[in-house]
Amino acid sequence: MPLLTRDAKGVYPISITPFHDDGAIDLAGMDRLVDFFLQCGVPGITVLGVLGEANKLSEEEGLGLLGHALRRVNGRAQVIAGAGHVGFDNLERFAGRAMEAGAAGLMIAPAPGLKTEEQVFAYFDALTRRIGEATPVALQDYPQHTGVFLSAGTLGALIERHPGIKVVKHEESSALRKISRLRAQEAEGRRGRVSILVGNSGIHLPQELHRGADGANTGVAFPEMLVEVCRRFSVGEAAAGEDLYDLFLPLVRHEQQPGIGLAIRKEIFRRRGLIASARVRAPGPALDADDHAELGLLLDRLDRKLRDAGEAGVIEAYPVAAE
């Protein structure tokens, strides 16, 4: 499979990591997830992200899961591996093993604790010397999580400086304008094009696509909707894309809750028949009876609205099972 490039486009789901009720990784569930994502028509998948509970896996579990996913994908899509290691030695070793196994690139965020632009530049210079400019990077710009804020100018300078940065995973909240500014840098010829995929649950996806985003790189439990929304935008049917998106917005908003959102997503995947257990590794959230009932109501409403709008076909393959 080709490596990640600056032309990346469309939806790259961030995969959850399915566990059995006893906490072991559910590889059969991972297979079903992979198959499902491919069936949605995605160009790639990200594993071992924050949503994938990467920091609760052992190093061997993480690499094992990556290898398993790569074998299941079998060249039909790109696989991006989240690389959240604190030390460069660990990161370099992981990067080597992941790329050797066939990953298309790494998702890397600036380390928490970087305080100034000078430190950010030094960090990426040093990191790049370790993993090499040839290793494609999806730069995760997620300051709510890392505490590291990058202006559009700084981000542009990093992109210019490091050809290895292929994708900006844009997920700073309240930062729609940043996409416009990144695109303006390109329109003004100040640097070459970069792919911009949005994260943050795609809570502003239509606005972000209007402003020049190339797609999404997020873990919403209805990736086929994201795919179809992006497709409509790409063929000039933005209004129809946003109409579809808005039908799902109540769910997207519900999933976007930090913390419990992960448990909600796992439960939706479970109800869709893709994974056997919604278990989150400890310490982590779990739904209670009220949460289940609330989610059930939201899913019923979605189902009804999709039917009313004649859009039920969008989630035809794996509808949500009635409880």
Number of residues near a second copy (by CB under 8 A): 63
Structure-token pair, residue 26: 């559910």
What is the x/- site pattern for a second copy, positions 241-280, by CB under 8 A? -x---x--xx--xx--xxxxx-------------------
Which residue, 112 or 273, is less far from a second copy as judged by CB? 112
Of 2 and 87, CB closest to a second copy = 87
- 117 contacts a second copy (rule: CB under 8 A): yes
- Look at phi and psi of residue 21 and say left if phi exceeds 0, alpha if psi is from -120 to 50, else beta: alpha
Nearest of 275, 256, 274 to residue 264 by alpha carbon: 256
Is 39 an interacting residue with respect to a second copy (CB under 8 A)? no
Q: Which of 8, 50, 114 is nearest to 262 (CA)?
A: 50
By beta-carbon proximity to a second copy, the closer residue of 58 and 322 is 58
d(CA 203, CA 249): 8
Q: Which of 9, 67, 76, 88 touches a second copy (CB under 8 A)?
A: 88
The per-residue b/e assignment along 58-94, b for 16 or more CB within 10 angstroms, e otherwise, is: eeeebbebbbbbbebbeeebbbbbbbbbeebeebbeb
Interface pick for a second copy out of 281, 313, 317, 323 (rule CB under 8 A)? 281
Q: Determine, following the binding rule CB under 8 A, whether residue 323 of this chain makes contact with a second copy.
A: no
Q: Name which position in 173, 192, 286, 323 contacts a second copy (CB under 8 A).
A: 173
Give the range of 67-75, 159-167, 171-179, 314-322 binding a second copy by CB under 8 A: 171-179
- How far apart are alpha carbons 122 and 286 in whole angstroms? 40
State the residues that interact with a second copy by CB under 8 A: 23, 53, 55-59, 86-90, 93, 111, 115-119, 123, 126-127, 130, 143, 149-154, 173-174, 176-177, 180, 203-204, 207, 210-211, 239, 242, 246, 249-250, 253-254, 257-261, 281-283, 288, 290-291, 294, 297-298, 301, 305
